[in-house]
Amino acid sequence: MEQNYAFLHLIEECFLEKRKSQRALYEKFYGYGMSISLRYSNNRRDATEILNDSFLKVFTNLKRYDKSLPFKAWLRRIIINTSIDHFRKNERSVHQLTNDVAFVDTGTDIPVDHSIDVLPLLQKISPQYRIVFNLYVMEEYKHNEISEMLSISEGTSRSNLLRAKAKLKELIIKQYEENKTTATYGRFLQKY
């Protein structure tokens, strides 16, 4: 269990701004944090920026962390919020989200199959679709929550999710056609 005495001592040391302890905490959760950051970013450089910004927020706001709750959950929430901030700062000005796009069912409801590496494919879809996909599918937020977080309508959230799924399915099919010997993609496509 993460909340043992040694871990709580590490948190206390970080609270006292001891660099060695901060580095230890960063290294302990680097892989976990990077896996989340990569889902929300265009590339590894952006993911690293998101993760570093997230840890800066962690160290700045450590006094707000409730030690009776799992640290990973608190960190995850910070990374997601930092990813949304990064999206707003860097992508939204370039790729404006469509407001009140009609919800159209395209029949492309593909669940995430964790046996395939969807990350490179996910990074190929547009940022506004990717962020809604991640929030809805990976983080299990509802459309009304996503609309509040991103300041978009629920219809836009639904539309962006459908478009993300359609694009992701298109990329999976393309990947499979380019490399038909990849059994994982074959099994995935047979299911759907």
Write out pLDDT tens, residues 4-21: 889 989 999 998 999 999
pTM: 0.67
Q: How many domains does one find in the chain?
A: 2
CB 50 within 8 A of CB 86: yes
Question: Same domain for 71 and 27?
Answer: yes
Would residue 98 count as lying in a domain? no
DSSP 125: S
Question: Same domain for 9 and 85?
Answer: yes
CB 97 within 8 A of CB 160: yes
Question: What count of residues does the chain have?
Answer: 192
Question: Same domain for 15 and 86?
Answer: yes
**CATH code (residue 137):** 1.10.10.10
Would residue 148 count as lying in a domain? yes
Q: SS3 of 14, please? A: helix
**CATH code (residue 13):** 1.10.1740.10
**Tens digits of per-residue pLDDT, 117-132?**
678 888 889 999 999 9
Would residue 60 count as lying in a domain? yes
Burial label for 87, CB within 10 Å (0-12, 13-18, 19+), is buried
pLDDT at 62 (0 to 100)? 92
pLDDT at 5 (0 to 100)? 84
Q: What is the mean pLDDT of the chain?
A: 81
Q: SS3 of 87, please? A: helix
**Tens digits of per-residue pLDDT, 25-75?**
999 999 999 999 999 998 999 999 999 999 999 999 999 999 888 999 999
Q: Which residues constitute the domain of residue 85?
A: 5-90
pLDDT at 57 (0 to 100)? 95
pLDDT at 29 (0 to 100)? 96
CB 121 within 8 A of CB 175: yes
* Torsion, CA 115, CA 55, CA 79, CA 60, rounded to 10: 160
What is the percentage of the chain residues whose pLDDT exceeds 70? 77
